[in-house]
Every structure is written in C-alpha cells, then in structure tokens.
C-alpha cells in the first residue's frame, strides 16, 4: 500500500507542474542564434536574481559552500501531498546529516498542501528569523507564495510559469525535461526520422509532447507515433499473432520508447518481427521500472536516460539510494523524491557559486544541475546503455 501511495504522490506532484516555454538547445556561450533575452543572458553566464540574495548568510571560507544560518522548509505533512512531502523531507535530512561542514539550524513547517497553509507557514518562518526557505511543493502552494518572496531566497519545488521575482529560485522534476533531452540527443546524432512508441500515462504524455515539439522544431520528423504494440492469441489456433506496426516505421532511422522495461522487451520483439531490429533504440528513465533482472539481457543495446540516483552514480555528498532504502518514504516513487529533497539541500548551500557563475554545474542526485538566468534550475540527465542485462555508462561510440 505504501508503494502505491508513494507512486501516486509522485505522479500527482508531476501532474501539478506547469512547464515554462524555454529555448531548446545547447546552453553554452557559443550557442547561436541568440534571439531572446533568456538565451542572451545564458550565453553571457548571467542571471536575473538579486545580486545581494545571500548577503545575510554567514561568511564562509569555502567558495563552494555558504549555507544560511537558519533554514526553513515548507512541506505538506498532511493531505494528498503528505507522502511526497515526507519523502522530500527525508532527502533533505539525508543531505543535512551527510554534510560535515558548519550547518544551519533547520526547521520544518507544515504547508498542509493548500494555498492558505503555505502562506501561514511562510509567514511563521519569516517571524522565526529564517534566512532561506525551501518549498513548498504543490502547485497551489507555490502560486500562493511566489510573489511573497522578498528579502530572502525562496527555493520553490514546483514549476513557476515565467518567473520574475528576483528572490525566487525554481526547482522541479517535470517529465518534459526528458522529452527535450531525447530530442536533443537524436538531433545531435543526425537521427531525424523517428518512430515513437509509448505506454499511456500522464508522465509519458508530457514527455511525448515535449519531445515532439523540440524534435520537429529543429527539423526532426516523427514518422510514426503509436502505443506500445501488444501480442495476442488467435483464438481458433491458439497461436501468437504478430502485432501490426505503423507503415511509417519503414522510414525511421531511430526508435524512441516511452515505457517500462517489461514493455520494452515485448516491443523489441515486435520490432524484430517487423524487420526493424537493427534500428538504434532510445528510451526514457521508465525503462528501469518493472524489468525482471532474469530477462534484462533482452534490453541490451538500448540507450536510456536516467538520474544518478537510479544507478548509484552519486552526488556532491556521496549519498545514494541504497543508504536510504530502509526508510519507509523511499518505497515506490518515494526514492526519486528522496533524491529531489537531497538536491534541494545541495542547492541551498551552494547559491554563492551560482550567483557568480550560473553555468557552473552541481552534481546532484536528480542530474547535473545549473542555474538558468531567470532562476529556473535545469537538470541534465545521464545516458546509459544495457549490456549483459546491466545498465552501464554510455560512451561516445554509442549511436
């Protein structure tokens, strides 16, 4: 039951996010063309935050570490987002206790999952002398405090559309990022005719939409788009029938699969029966879900996106999922929210670095993190490939 609740909370949290319209493409000073203020600021390694954002923090001799003296965390401890809030809390505390340098005092406030609850918690935190606030996480909660942020930094844990508050930083785990990264990777490999198969759920629908938008905008063609093929039995003969795949598959030079590992295995079989076994296959992070290790060799050769947390690659504090697996909050989708909380802690202690150089990356549990000019915190995920049924780091020789 806890696994179901945690997974549901993760989906609910993702579904509550609204993704801003952003320029897709490499985020380097040499990116061209630069046609909007966000791109131009990114190229100049600039940000729009208040330059005195952390002036009230205690001085630090470490250029990469300068936490507040008093940190407040606004999370729902009750209601539909209570399970998600507890998982994020445990991730924050994992980072807090793993840090060996001087740490702030930390206090948690129940935002109750509502706009009024978030406002009350925010006002209490200010009254108690907080120098920085992490949270809240719900869409309505964040919307309630986004314009209240003033004087101290607030790290909101859900997407804000077109942020314009110079004291607000915005960090979230929206599915759309995976779609953008899939598109960027295929385009970088000059794979511009793709067939995409997916399992129907809210997260995959959002990944698909983001992928299609970014891919077609830069010249890619989605030659086929269909749900994951299903094998069935012919009742009179009891023989397995071959799934019929879209005609456009014959024009594809790459395959994208948005589905669990179990579904990937059957889809690969269907592709092979339809003469498409030689095409390079790319997948989202869901491939690591529901895959039986005994048959994972059927996933060999598939390249997929994942977070460092999923493979134990570590982060700036060396904390990994295995260390938290005994916690009730880590079960099901809660483990990813543990990682999200851990990264929120890392961000809160490293603002000094980002204020001087936003393009600097932080090795987080949810990906490689950098600060966008408007205060959005962007994630870049890792690429892995299955070899002998085991995920391995991919390399430049992979398609």
How crowded is residue 363: how many other Cβ atoms within 10 Å of its Cβ?
16
Two domains, one topology: 2-174+311-380 and 176-310+383-393: yes
**Does 19 score more than 90 pLDDT?**
no
**What φ, ψ does residue 73 adopt, rounded to 5°?**
-120, 120
Q: Domain residues of the chain, as ranges?
A: 2-174+311-380, 176-310+383-393
Q: What does the alpha-carbon distance between residue 207 and residue 198 come to, in Å, rounded to a whole number?
A: 10
**Does 18 score more than 50 pLDDT?**
no
Retrieve residue 342's tokens.
């851990």
DSSP 3-state of 145: helix
Q: What does the alpha-carbon distance between residue 268 and residue 270 come to, in Å, rounded to a whole number?
A: 5
**What φ, ψ does residue 223 adopt, rounded to 5°?**
-80, -20
Instruction: Provide CATH code, domain 2-174+311-380.
Output: 3.40.50.2300
First to last CA, the chain: 41
Q: What does the alpha-carbon distance between residue 306 and residue 286 come to, in Å, rounded to a whole number?
A: 8
- The predicted-structure confidence for 292-318, as pLDDT tens digits, reads as follows 788 999 999 999 998 888 777 667 888
- The predicted-structure confidence for 104-161, as pLDDT tens digits, reads as follows 999 999 999 999 999 999 999 999 999 999 999 999 999 999 989 999 999 999 989 8
Mean pLDDT to the nearest integer, 380-394: 89
**Does 356 score more than 70 pLDDT?**
yes
Q: What does the alpha-carbon distance between residue 197 and residue 249 come to, in Å, rounded to a whole number?
A: 11
Q: Which helix (H) or strand (E) holds 127?
A: helix 115-127
**Does 30 score more than 60 pLDDT?**
no
Give domain 176-310+383-393's CATH number out of 3.40.50.10860, 3.40.50.300, 3.90.1150.10, 3.40.50.2300: 3.40.50.2300
Retrieve residue 388's tokens.
């002998």
- b/e string for 164-198 if b means 16 or more Cβ within 10 A? ebbbbbbbbbbbbbbbbbbbbbbbeeebbebbbbb
Q: What does the alpha-carbon distance between residue 166 and residue 151 come to, in Å, rounded to a whole number?
A: 9
- The predicted-structure confidence for 38-62, as pLDDT tens digits, reads as follows 889 999 999 999 999 999 999 999 9
* Complete edge-to-edge strand list for the sheet that includes strand 303-306: 221-227, 193-198, 254-258, 281-283, 303-306, 382-387, 390-393
Q: What does the alpha-carbon distance between residue 396 and residue 307 come to, in Å, rounded to a whole number?
A: 19
Global confidence as pTM: 0.85
């Amino acid at each position: 039951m806890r696994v179901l609740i945690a997974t549901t909370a993760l989906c609910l949290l993702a579904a509550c996010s609204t993704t801003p319209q952003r320029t897709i493409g490499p985020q380097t000073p040499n990116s061209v063309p630069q046609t909007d203020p966000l791109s131009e600021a990114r190229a100049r390694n600039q940000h729009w935050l208040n330059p005195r954002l952390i002036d009230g923090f205690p001085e630090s001799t470490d250029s990469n570490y300068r936490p507040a003296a008093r940190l407040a965390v606004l999370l729902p401890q009750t209601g539909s987002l209570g399970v998600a809030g507890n998982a994020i809390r445990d991730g924050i505390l994992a980072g807090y206790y793993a840090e060996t340098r001087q740490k702030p005092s930390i206090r948690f406030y129940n935002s109750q999952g509502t706009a009024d609850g978030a406002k009350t918690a925010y006002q209490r935190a200010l009254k108690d002398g907080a120098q920085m606030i992490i949270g809240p996480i719900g869409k309505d909660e964040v919307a309630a405090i986004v314009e209240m942020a003033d004087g101290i930094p607030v790290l909101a844990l859900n997407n804000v559309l077109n942020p314009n508050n110079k004291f607000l930083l915005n960090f979230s785990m929206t599915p759309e990022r995976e779609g953008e990264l899939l598109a960027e990777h295929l385009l970088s490999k000059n794979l511009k005719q793709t067939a995409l198969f997916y399992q129907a759920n809210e997260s995959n629908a959002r990944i698909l939409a983001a992928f299609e938008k970014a891919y077609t905008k830069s010249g890619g063609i989605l030659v086929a788009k269909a749900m994951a093929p299903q094998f069935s039995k012919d009742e009179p003969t009891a023989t397995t029938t071959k799934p019929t795949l879209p005609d456009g598959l014959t024009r594809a030079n790459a395959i994208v699969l948005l589905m669990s590992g179990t579904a990937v295995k059957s889809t690969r079989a269907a592709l092979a029966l339809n003469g498409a076994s030689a095409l390079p296959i790319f997948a989202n992070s869901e491939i690591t879900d529901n895959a039986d290790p005994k048959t994972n060799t059927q996933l060999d050769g598939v390249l997929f996106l994942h977070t460092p947390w999923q493979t134990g690659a570590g982060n700036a504090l060396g904390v990994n999922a295995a260390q938290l697996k005994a916690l009730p909050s880590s079960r099901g989708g809660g483990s990813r929210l543990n990682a999200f909380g851990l990264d929120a802690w890392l961000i809160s202690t490293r603002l000094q670095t980002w204020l001087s150089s936003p393009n600097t990356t932080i090795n987080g549990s949810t990906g490689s993190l950098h600060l966008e000019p408007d205060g959005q915190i962007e994630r870049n995920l890792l690429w892995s490939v299955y070899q002998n049924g085991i995920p391995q780091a991919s390399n430049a020789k992979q398609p």
